[in-house]
Structure 1
Amino acid sequence: MNQIRELRLENELPEGTRMNGADTDTYVRGHFRLKGWGNTRAYIFKHSPLYIVIRLADEYIVFNDTEA
């Protein structure tokens, strides 16, 4: 908990590049580099907006579920 710099909800995510992991029609899992955010670990279901965003000192973590 002491590593968390910010915790927020987002309706949209910035564009980016997958560094490794999986990107299917249903979900995205893995390490990404997102514009304006940098290193990001993503565990999200596509087409299910409302993402929980955790900002740490050197990366972001983003996740959601199939329903908000």
Structure 2
Amino acid sequence: MRIDIDHAVCIGAGQCALTAPEVFTQDDDGFSALLPGREDGHDGPLVREAVRACPVSAIAVRDS
């Protein structure tokens, strides 16, 4: 699975980091970021839940 974050849309709500903290974090400005090495995703169910939890749909996943 490939994870993409649209940084132009992200508002820094942090739901992704709360839902899947092994994959997502927040950068110094408070916006969503992937932890190093997580671009290709892990923890599929939690990542998909983080996608659903994002209030502005800034996260997308696609199967690789």
Q: Same fold (TM over 0.5)?
A: no
- Larger helix percent: 2
TM-score range, shorter chain: under 0.3
The structure number with the bigger radius of gyration is 1
- Larger strand percent: 1
**Which has the bigger relative contact order, CA under 8 A and spacing at least 6?**
2
Normalization by structure 1: what TM-score? 0.27
Normalization by structure 2: what TM-score? 0.28
